[in-house]
Amino acid sequence: MREDYQVFLIWAIGCFFFQSVAYAVTIPREDVVSITKQARDELSRTMRSDKSFSYPPYLGSNYIAQYYVMLHWLGGSELAAKSALNTTTLTSVLFSQQLADGSWQAVPDHNLPHGELDTTIFNYWALKAMGQDIRNGRMTAAREFIRGQGGLAKAKTMTRFWLSLFGNLDWDSISYVPLFVFQPGWIGDLVDIQDRVSQWVYPHLLPMAYLRATRLVKKMPERFLLHELVVGLYTDSNGALTPSPTSIFKKNWLNPYDKALKNANVAAVSTAELRAIVDRSFRLQGAQGSFGAYTVSSLFTWAILQDFALRDPSYAKRITPACEGVFAFIENLYFNTGPSAYMGVLDNGDYWDTILSGIALSETGIAAAALAPTASYLSSKVVPITKVKAEGGVVTGDGSVGAPAMVGIPYGSDFEYAPDVDDTAELVLFWTRLLRAGHAADVQANLNASLRWMEAMQNDNGGFGAFNKNREGWWLVKEIAAQFADSAELFDPSTVDVTAHVMEAFAANDMTVANSNLQRRAVAFLRTQQQRNGMYPGRWGIGYVYGTGSAVAGLRRAGIPSSDAAVSRAVTWLLSVQNKDGGWGETSKSYLDASLAGKGLSTPSQTAWALLGLLEVRDDPAFPQADRTRVAQAVDAGIGHLVSSFKKQGTFVDPYAVGTGHPGIIYMQYPVYAKTWTLMALARYLDRTPAL
């Protein structure tokens, strides 16, 4: 009875004070306007001469550590001398990131006190190889952390590959990948491995299968060996092996490095089997020199090409320039990416950066005419698509006459073989804004073709994946690739955030649940994804805050009223996890422990994601007035947090990772997110909150 009275009282007070569309603002409007303008101008100044934007995302300096040791494996000190990698800089960067317990996090998550085993292994490895005394305090702390986690034996599968190349682990610690799935002929066609795994797995799987089959190992100097990280071995203070106590097992583990060398390079693998993998790899070679658009897949491929040139000299003329291209590709991303240099930029995401920047600027008052060249730039980067497979990927390349029927935009350069649904949805939003302002008429045909492609990409369950259609996971491939599940997400299923963004794109072009079967199916999918407490999981951003904010915006734009349970329950959850400082935050660990969903230090990006959802319901008459009041107060507090954050930092910057590479495994820092999603939230707030 008391609860009913309180609800009525809140509703009555709300009706009295908030009958008009103008809400009481807890922070001076002029402050919001000023910060929005400052942030907008800062972003605008970074437009490049070709009208694009670039804020390279990164995954961790451990990838630079990995690169250092591999440079020596691939070409010794001679190749290392050609690299722009500066060992003094790398050493400084690594030690500056080390945590108190000796461990490292790939990208910072200030919500967590400890680092990750694999990241710490790579950083310790590189520091030792660069000459750091492993007896000093920092190296000792790192070593104790690694050994306390179980040592090298507990490393994830992908880390085991790198370790095995040096003989630090035996190849037997990694499951064999059957080569028949890569061979030409009916078996390879039946398995169709490229169209069964996620876009990002395939370029890595090819060279990793080659390496496991051939068991490649090179004898390396002692400084590259990690005996001291193998729990159970006896090493001296320098990490060198010492004779183990007399035992019946002495012969087997006196020197595992010699054992690894002995067992390596003896597998009976035919040149024809390996050639099939090499040929598949070459089909993924991009104009920038990568194999599959990623530095890690390219580095793995470099290793197998170097080996295959010795097995089949007829390939040498093709392999030599290919390896030079890989070197240039990696060097550019690792050391020529401005503030992200030495932070582990693994791929080029400039088109995504440009799309988000374009939207943010168009919403904050930059004239459409000034952004039309950016729209045209992006239009020149779309990929024509001739076919969408029922279960698999897309066939790119324009086989038609005139304008292609379908197009999609890649995430960045060298991803032309895999256009991105999420990026395309946001691009449609950007183009639509400019077209409705009477500019960028030249993109209309590509906008229509983009809508046709996204419509063709809708999965059978109504949702959308990032790159592929119905890539939910085939049982045989699950068996073949199961061992890699600890290092990457293997498939590309429908996700809440991508689906919601597609819904927004179609809604912007006047397609809602009232007239679009695509929207009705997408809404049905989102209903299946909502958790009992109202939240939605996020795939490409951390985590439930991203998913829930995206879902609310997508549902509302598609025509679902705020009073619908799917929306109102999501809003209630967002309100329940707002931090006392007015912002929102979430630790990456929420992917592994859902009880941590919505918990974490506030970040600009996660605050913006929550606000973008809440702003879609704040003014909806279908939403109960008492709830609208709570939402209005939460929105004001969130905007206040963004203003305060900018004033303190002089810019918008996320203090820890907010992007997701592979849920529960790898996270990313996208510098562009704090620069753009915040502006969208501020702009929509100002647009929908008239001055008092």
504 in Cβ contact with 557 (< 8 Å): yes
Q: Which burial class, exposed, middle or buried, applies to 20 when counting CB atoms under 10 A from its CB (0-12, 13-18, 19+)?
A: exposed
Tokens at residue 682, please?
A: 């501020």
| Rounded Cα gap, residues 4 and 9, in angstroms | 9
CA–CA distance, 500 with 509 (Å, rounded to integer):
15
Find out whether 623 and 631 touch, Cβ atoms under 8 Å: yes
CB 284 within 8 A of CB 292: yes
Cis, peptide link before residue 167, omega less than 30° from 0:
no
Who's near 521: CB < 8 A, 6+ residues apart? 458, 462
Distance (Å, whole) CA 412 – CA 650:
29
Instruction: Write the DSSP assignment of 634-647 as a string of letters.
Output: HHHHHHHHHHHHHH
Are the CB atoms for 434 and 369 separated by under 8 Å? Answer: no
Cβ atoms 317, 282 nearer than 8 A: no
Bond before 465 cis per omega within 30 degrees: no
Q: Round to whole Å and give the CA distance between 434 and 443.
A: 10
Closest CA to 681 of 616, 586, 597, 602: 616
Catalytic center residues: 422
Q: Which residues pair with 387 in a beta bridge?
A: 395
Query: What element of type H or E holds 386?
Result: strand 383-388
